[in-house]
Amino acid sequence: MGRPVSRRITAAVFALASTLALGALPAAPASADAVPAGTRPLPPVSPVPQSLSRTGDDAVLTGRVVLVAGDDTDAPARDRLVRELRDHGVDRVDVVPPDNVARLPAGALTIRLGPADRPDIARALGSTAVPDHPEGYALRVTGGPAAGAQIALGGTDAAGQFYAVQTLRQLLRPDGTGWRVAGAQISDYPSMPLRGTIEGFYGKPWTQAERLDQMDFYGDVKANTYVYAPKDDPYHRDKWREPYPAEKLAELGVLVGRARANHVRFTFAVSPGGSICYSDPADRTALKAKLQAMYDLGTRAFSLPLDDISYTRWNCAADQQTYGQPGRQAAARAQVDLLNDVQRTFIATHEGAQPLQTVPTEYGDLTDTAYKQTMRATLDPAVVVMWTGTDVVPPTISNDQADAASKLFGRKVFVWDNYPVNDYGNTRGRLLLAPYDKREAGLSAHLSGIVANPMNQPYASQVAVFGTAGFTWNDTAYDAGASWPQAMAYLAGGDRRATGALLVFGDLEHMAPTFGATPWQPQAPELARRVAAFWADWNAGRRAEAVRALRDYAVRIEQAPSAIRGGAVRPGFVTDAGPWLDATELWGRATVAMLDALDARTAGDTAGAQARLAESGDLQTQARAVRVQPARNTWGSAQPKVGDGVLDTFLAAAAGQVQQ
């Protein structure tokens, strides 16, 4: 399995994303020598650090770098740092222990990586505050002449060291033929302890290669949690009693290892609720054996989801004898009995195991019921309870809602956020590429974390998950409007043309539906703005200007697919988006032809207008004939939706103007 084309999120990527809009692309940046290094703005970092400030001059990345790392240095952090240095032109990286620094070569940049309280790192950090938080880190870049420049990366734990490296690579900026590291000091830590995704959708699960790539992506964006819970893995749900075949178990072992290398907590979920006999000791033994097999592979986090099952019937007669007639309270009693047993006799007896997680059968509302009352009163306080918000797909999640949910379950809830998942009817034919949004700043005080449920399309999901990672790391500083172009720049490897094309394409796939009739994010807001401006100019008699302005954008729609397929964008995204890209090119061509028809009509060229109108109609027919096939989703073969409700509505209205 090959790695993505580019795994670097450099300062250039984020400088691009911070200025890029759906209008014209920015001019190329001025030479680094044009502005004194110590006064240049710091490049944006994602997720946004808790504290970031400039310390002075940048540090020049020399051809030879000395990396001071000891036995207490996190190996994945060290290896990633070495790889980044070599990717940015460093010819030689000397890794030396802290007790051998007396022989450091002159003229080489020195980087120190390890625990923040290691004496040499503590001295190099100087006044930079070291956060007293798990997964926290402090970073300081002291610039100036190469002989005096040094960089200190100190973590409060191994994960903190790894995240310090993830931040450092975003401080790299091009400087002529070489690179500089922005002179900065950072004190940083995550606001939420659990951050990442849950592969919990219906439909074709991700492949092994796709999951391995996702682990690398999560490491890049400082997400620390992946919950393995694909509904259509038979051994997760229907065949939960059966052990995984040896080949599949080996695959899972490789995945656990890749997750660990990226400081991602692989969380194994098994969902027995559809057939378990809660009171049967044999079923409990089978369940614990399933967990033990994963523990033996290195898994230390486990979940027992009890969602999407009935509590109006039992799976065995013994449960009725043990817990009474089926119903809310009886179901909660049975589930609590199982969960408490697993927490106390498996989790608590296995070294390093994290608290058990569960998804209750009532997971998406704020109504107090006998089910929740029983859970609240009797579930072991250590068990982590997941909640999806006020609905299965909530349009918003507020602090008050989260606080109310936590009170209902007697603990801080862990949000299973059903965005950008696209496995239900209202998402038929859709890629969901809008940013992660409408979650209130301050939720970190009310939640134990958030995991996003992604789409069946793993790489396309990275647009939203990039934002989820940013929000859960620092919810009070998160800005969806800033995060969205940064996510596109990440996918494009910093390429300006490809990033701009992704923003145009993402606008056409912006609509985020719920289970109801009203979407919680609008379709094609940028295109809608431009169409509104077109009609305002058209109706005011400025018809040539109206056509010219919108035609320029229509050309960008037409050309976006080829730019996305041009090689800079991650190949997985291109594959995921293939049918939508095909349709987008046709819709863009149809829009250009329609605007040319309007232009011809305005000029009095009736024949030309009709010819272009017919051409547009033919292209629209071709666009509607495109299908998502073979389908990964439960909705099967479907027409890919592209700017629907905006683009097609404009074309119909414009056709009416041509025919007048």
CATH classification of the domain holding 78: 3.30.379.10
pLDDT of residue 177: 86
For 252-291, the pLDDT digits (tens) are 999 999 999 999 999 999 999 999 999 999 999 999 999 9
Identify the domain boundary among 148, 172, 188: 188
Tokens 């027992």 correspond to 304
**415 and 370 in one domain?**
yes
137 in the same domain as 60:
yes
Q: What's the rounded mean pLDDT across residues 149-163?
A: 97
> What residues does 115 pair with on adjacent strands?
155
Assign 38 a pLDDT band (cuts: 50, 70, 90).
Answer: low
Q: Residue 7's pLDDT is what?
A: 41
Q: Are residues 125 and 272 both part of a single domain?
A: no
Domain extent for 301: 194-455+465-471
CATH number of the domain enclosing 204: 3.20.20.80
- Compute the average pLDDT of residues 424-435: 97
Q: Are residues 364 and 238 in the same domain?
A: yes
Q: Looking at the structure, do residues 168 and 224 belong to the same domain, yes or no?
A: no
| pLDDT 10s digits, 611-643 | 999 999 999 999 999 999 888 999 999 999 999
Q: Which of 188, 210, 235 is the last residue of a domain?
A: 188
The number of beta carbons lying within 10 Å of the beta carbon of residue 624 is 15
Residues 199, 153 share a domain: no
Residue 445 lies in a domain: yes
Domain count of the fold of the chain? 3
In whole angstroms, how large is the CA radius of gyration of the chain?
A: 27
Establish if 511 belongs to a structural domain.
no
Residue 78's H or E segment, with its range, is helix 75-87
Q: Please write the tens of the pLDDT for every residue from 205-238.
A: 999 999 999 999 999 999 999 999 999 999 999 9
**Do residues 206 and 301 both lie within one domain?**
yes
Residues 178 and 221 in one domain: no
Same domain, 353 and 382: yes
Q: Are residues 258 and 128 both part of a single domain? A: no
- Ordered DSSP codes for 504-544: HHHHHT--B--SSSS-SB-S-HHHHHHHHHHHHHHHTT-HH
Q: Is residue 515 part of a domain?
A: no
pLDDT class of 401 with cuts at 50, 70, 90: very high
Of 352, 421, 340, 341, the closest CA to residue 383 belongs to 340
Instruction: Assess if residue 609 is contained within a domain.
Output: yes
234 & 268 share domain = yes
Asked if the structure places residue 602 within a domain, the reply is: yes
Average pLDDT of the chain, as a whole number:
93
| 391 and 375 fall within a common domain | yes
Residue 328 pLDDT exceeds 60: yes
What pLDDT score does 473 carry?
A: 98
Longest Cα pair distance anywhere in the chain, in angstroms? 85
Q: What is the pLDDT of residue 8?
A: 45
Confidence (pLDDT) at 631:
81
Evaluate if residue 13 carries a pLDDT over 60. Answer: no
CA quadruple 379, 384, 389, 391: dihedral, nearest 10: -60
- Following DSSP, what letter does each residue of 1-52 receive, concatenated? -PPPS-----HHHHHHHHH--SSSPPPPPPPGGGS-GGGSPPPP-SSPPSEE
Structure tokens at 346: 């498996």
Q: Give the residue numbers marked as catalytic.
A: 308
Which residue has 């691009």 as its token pair? 16
- Is residue 651 within 8 A of residue 616, CB to CB? The reply is yes
Q: How far apart are CA 216 and CA 9, in angstroms?
A: 13
In a domain, 502, yes or no: no
Domain assignment of residue 202, yes or no: yes
- Give the residues across from 94 on adjacent strands: 66
Q: Quick check: is 495 in a domain?
A: no
CB 113: neighbour CB atoms within 10 A?
28
Looking at residue 29, what is its pLDDT? 44
CATH number for the domain that contains residue 645: 1.20.58.460
Alpha helices in 116-262 (DSSP H): 119-125, 158-168, 208-220, 246-261
pLDDT value of residue 176: 85
Percent residues over pLDDT 70 in the chain: 93
**Residue 262 region by backbone torsions, left for phi larger than 0, else alpha for psi between -120 and 50, else beta:** alpha
Domain boundary among 137, 153, 188: 188
pLDDT score, position 1: 34
Provide the Cα torsion 588, 594, 599, 601; round to 10°: 180
Helix extents (H) in 379-495 = 399-409, 462-473, 480-491
- What pLDDT band is residue 35 in, cutting at 50, 70 and 90? low
